[in-house]
Structure 1
Amino acid sequence: MSDKKKSSKKSPPSPGETLDNKTYLKTLRHLHEELVRMQEWVVKSGAKVCILFEGRDGAGKGGTIKAITERVNPRVFRVITTPAPTEREKSQMYFQRYLSHLPAAGEVVIFDRSWYNRAGVERVMGFCTEEQVQEFLVGVQLIERAMVHSGIILLKYWLEVSPEEQTRRLEARITDERKIWKLSPMDLESYHRWFDYSRARDEMFEKTDTNFAPWFVAHSDDKKRARLNIISHLLGKVPYEDVPRDKVELPRRQKADGYQEPDYPFKLVPTQY
């Protein structure tokens, strides 16, 4: 583990401090540098990393994933958001539509919601039977044990948002033209069923928080702190090391050798700003 990696973990401020935007961006930059180092190690070592995010609507899953991935290679870090299952997928074994997305050597796969849909939204909204839920809660342990035994580093995060903060965020989606697309009838119904989701979450933790694939909970009312804490935590869970880098220097540009810019009537984008 490099000295830079150690120092980056000391950067996030203590819980009592006010986290101003300058401090947040500075700390996030350090963590992004470590994510790049982790990425280089994953590619070099052939490691397989699978990270999944669960939580209520408005908990901050998308923003956290964006914070993780905005400075890394999308060919290494793949984000999976599975749509509603097709009729064909409904006829398959439940886990089948997720298994094809699991990481191969040299990949980090991030699930924005995952197979745990069955223990959460599908259960609460009545999209599956209670028997199917119980079968899932037993079967998921076998699947995740097999994943870990195959060499996958599996990290499961639950973002915990308070009822008051969820209300504030969902109301903001209603009034902000940039966010209105995030609000669906399903979001409104799930908001209504807060305690049904709480009961489903509690049983999910009880049945699937195992020693080989534990759940990690991040309080996400403060989005900035949640992002920094999660990134710092996942860096500590992946045993990456510095990969030696070749010194990079820009080569000299070739000589023009008579080339001249053409007098072509380009259709320019208007300068409005």
Structure 2
Amino acid sequence: MDESEHHSPAPAPAPGPARFERICFRASDAPAARAALARFTAIYGDCKAAEADVIVAIGGDGMMLETLAASEALDVPVYGMHRGTVGFLMNDYRLEGLRERLAEAEPARINPLRMTAYRMDGEVRRARAINEVSLIRQRHQAARIRILIDGKERMSELVCDGVMVATPAGSTAYNYSAHGPILPIQADILALTPISAFRPRRWRGALLPRDAQVTLEVSAPEHRPVSATADNVEVRDVRRVDVEIEREVTHTLLFDPGHGLEERLIREQFA
């Protein structure tokens, strides 16, 4: 047989971009978001989150946080579309070319915080937060909070309106409003930021290792009640709150090229 008749098998085609055929749409109750939902589903169809290749959340950052919480047990990325008020975690709204945008999107993987809140009545409540866990005074009196890191006391008493532990993803939200630092999205640190600190008056907070276990103990909670909030889950009348990274949960967010979280965090510092 002539050597020219020998044929090598054709090389396998290179893997193409990710395909997002099955899309689950979720929208906030805002009129603009509901109208966009109707348009998207008419063009692209809709399916249940458990059957989807991707979830598209339509609204503002609150809708994104709600969607991430609802889908944390699913290995499905979430792509946000801004039709709300604040849209730091969202992409620009555009009806056309959604599947092409999804195929070209850049992933950002983040872990939430786990909050364990111990109430005055003995109840224990747990919740997760993408942005921050915050403690806030419930009455006119300032809160008095003892701070422990990995079981070691670091501050015997912080007199303040409150205090928060923020992730890099949440560092531009409430944390930034309280004059906390903006953290690069890949930074292995958390921000511990006071809210209107009275004593120590000049304390501006601390940067903690990502794996730090933070304990916030409320002094005299019966006289100076404090509530704890993990993003949008509030627990009132707490006496102690433990905060740490939830390593077993990873969320994947999708962003248009050049507009990912890393770029947004850098851009925010020069706004």
Q: TM-score range by the shorter chain?
A: under 0.3
Structure with the bigger percentage of helix = 1
Q: Which has the higher contact order (CA 8 A, sep 6+)?
A: 1
- TM-score under structure 1 length normalisation: 0.20
